[in-house]
Structure 1
C-alpha cells in the first residue's frame, strides 16, 4: 500500500477519498479485519442479463468476432426482424 494522506469522518461517518483517486460513482467492495483496517477493492457491476457473456468463453469469443466484423464493415443485411417482435411483452 502507498500512504495517501489522512481523512476525517464527517458527522454522518462518511470519508472522502478523492486524494486516493476515487471519483463519483466508483464502486468498491469493503472488507475489514480485527485491527479495524479497511480494504477497498474496486468493482465493476454489470447487469445480470450480461453475466452470460462473462461466464461463457465461447459466447464471449463469438461476440468479439461479431463486433470486429461489424467494425470492419463486414455486414450482411438480413432485413427487418419486426415480425418476430413481441409487442405485448411487458417484462422489458
Structure 2
C-alpha cells in the first residue's frame, strides 16, 4: 500500500454492516466535522472543517471588517475599552423576552 505525500498510516479498520468506519484511532472526536474527498483510486481524504452561521460569513469575506473586529477584540483584551451606557440604556438584561 502506498501513502500520499504528507500522510502516515495510523490503523487498519473494517466497515460495519452499515458501511460505517470508526476513526477514533486517527484522533477524531465526537462532533468533529470533516469534508470528505475521494480520488480516482478510491483514496479518501478527510479535511477538518468548522461551520459558522451564515450571518457571521460577512466577517470572513470582508478583510476590512475582520481586521476591525480583531482590533476591537485586542483592545478589549488589553482593557482599552470604555462602557457605552447609551447603547444599553433602554435594555433590561434581566427581563425575559416575551416575543421569543
TM-score range (shorter-chain normalised) is 0.7 to 0.9
| Runs ≥4 residues deviating over 6 A | 87-90
**Structure 1 residue aligned with 2:72:** 66
Aligned residues: 88
User: TM-score w.r.t. structure 1 length?
Assistant: 0.81
**SS of residue paired to 1:28:** strand
User: TM-score w.r.t. structure 2 length?
Assistant: 0.76
> Which runs of no fewer than 5 residues in structure 1 stay unpaired?
none
Counterpart CA distance in 1 for 2:64 and 2:10 is 42
1:47 deviation in Å? 1.0
**Structure 1 residue aligned with 2:94:** none
Q: Does residue 38 of structure 1 match 2:51?
A: no
> Which runs of no fewer than 5 residues in structure 2 stay unpaired?
1-6, 92-96
